[in-house]
A and B are shown apart, each in its own frame.
Chain A
Amino acid sequence: MLKIGSYEFSSRLLLGTGKYPDFDVQKEAVDVSETEILTFSVRRMNIFDANQPNFLEKLDVGKYTLLPNTAGAKTAEEAVRIAKLAKASGLCDMIKVEVIGCQKTLLPDPLETLKASEELLKEGFTVLPYTSDDVLLAKRLEELGCHAIMPGASPIGSGQGIVNPLNLRFIIEQSTVPVIVDAGIGVPSDAAMAMELGADGVLLNTAVSGAKDPVKMAQAMKLAIEAGRLGFEAGRIPKKRYATASSPTEGMSVS
C-alpha cells in the first residue's frame, strides 16, 4: 500500500496525462497501467470552442485521484494561485508543487518550491513537491510537513533515467514520508531501478506518452514498478568482488 496523507493506493505508478497521440490510446494506456493517480495541468479554457474534447471527460473520474500540478509557475506565489484554482474544481485537494527555475533544464527552483509548499500546507492541501535530488532540500520539505517528496531522476522529459542513484538512496533512507521518483524516466528498467532503491512510487509521463506504442509501454512500466518493488522487499544479495559458486563444490563425480 502506498499511503500519501489520508489517501491509500495499491498501485505505485503515478501517470501523467500530457502529450498522448490521441485520447483513445491514452485511455487504453491509463487502463493497462492500472494507475490510480493521474496528474493534470491547469490552463485557460478555449471559451469559443466549448465542445473541444477534454481527457478528463473520457474518464470515470471517481476511479482516480487527481494530482494537478502547478506547472507554468516560476514563483511560489504563482504556484499557490494555480493550486487554489485546481482545488476550486472540487475534484481534489492534492497538489504537485512544480516551480520551474530554468527553462532549459526545467529544473525546479528549490527556494520557491519550499515557499510554495509551506504556504499550501498551511492552506490544508496534500502537498507533493517536485524537487531536485538534493538530499537536504528533501529533508527540509519533509520537516515542513509535505506528504510525499518527489525527487527528479533526471530533467523532465529527458528520458535519461536515474543520473544520481546515490542521492536518491540517501533521500529514500532518510524519509519517513513516501518518496516518489518523478521525471526523467525513460525505460522500464529506470522505473524498476527506482523501486529497487526503495522508492515508494514512480511518476512518469513522456516515457509512456512518447513511446512508439504507449499502451505497451504503460504495461511495461506497471510490471517494472511491481517487479522493482518486489525486488526491494525481497532484499538483494550483497555485491561481492569475486564469484561464489551456486552449485555444490563437494561430491563431484570425476572419472
Chain B
Amino acid sequence: MELVINGDKIDVPDTVETVDNLIQHFGLSEKVVIVEQNQIIVEKGSHQETKLCNGDKIELVHFVGGG
C-alpha cells in the first residue's frame, strides 16, 4: 500500500493495516506521536481500530523545542 506520510509517498507492507500498525512499523510506539489521517486527527484511543487505505495522507507529528 502506498501512503503519503508527512508529504512523501511511502510504500508500506500489506501487514500494515491500521494506524497502530503504522506506528509500530516505524518503531514509534514508545514516542509521543500525534496522527492525522486525511486532515482528521486520529485520537490515541482509536489508533488500533483506524484502518488505512491506499493513498491516505498521513501526518505524524510530535513536540519539538520551541518558544
Contact = CB atoms under 8 A, between A and B. Distances in A.
Given A44-B59, A47-B28, A50-B28, A20 B41 contact: no
B47 to A, nearest CB: 11
A68 B67 CA distance: 9
B34 A85 contact: yes
A140 B7 CA distance: 38
Nearest first, the 10 closest Cβ-Cβ pairs linking A and B are A41-B66, A16-B67, A205-B67, A50-B27, A40-B63, A17-B65, A18-B65, A44-B6, A47-B26, A43-B64
Given A18-B65, A41-B64, A44-B60, A89 B34 contact: yes
Contact of A91 (B7, B26, B32, B35): B32
Interface in B33-54: 33-36, 41-44
Contacts, number: 101
Interface string A34-63: 000001111111011011001111000000
B34 A40 contact: no
B65 A88 contact: no
A45 B28 contact: yes
A91 B62 CA distance: 11
Given A85-B41, A88-B34, A88-B44, A45 B66 contact: no
A251 B55 CA distance: 93
Given A85-B36, A88-B41, A88-B44, A45 B31 contact: yes
Contact of B60 (A45, A203, A204): A45
Given A47-B60, A85-B36, A90-B44, A40 B65 contact: yes
A181 B38 CA distance: 37
Interface residues of B, number: 25
B6 A47 contact: yes
Nearest to A55: B65
A88 B60 contact: no
A20 B67 CA distance: 11
Interface string A17-32: 1111000001000000
Interface residues of A, number: 39
| From B6, B42, B62, residue with most partner A Cβ within 10 Å | B62
A86 to B, nearest CB: 7
Contacts of A204: 67
A89 B32 CA distance: 7
A16 B36 CA distance: 26
B66 A17 contact: yes
Interface string B15-34: 00000000000111001111
Interface string A142-158: 00000000000000110
B6 A39 contact: no
A20 B65 contact: yes
Interface in A60-98: 66, 68-69, 71, 84-86, 88-91
B16 to A, nearest CB: 12
29 contacts: A17-B65, A17-B66, A18-B65, A18-B66, A19-B65, A41-B63, A42-B61, A43-B61, A43-B62, A44-B6, A44-B7, A44-B61, A47-B26, A48-B26, A50-B26, A50-B28, A51-B27, A54-B32, A54-B63, A54-B64, A56-B32, A57-B31, A66-B63, A84-B41, A85-B36, A86-B34, A88-B35, A88-B44, A183-B67
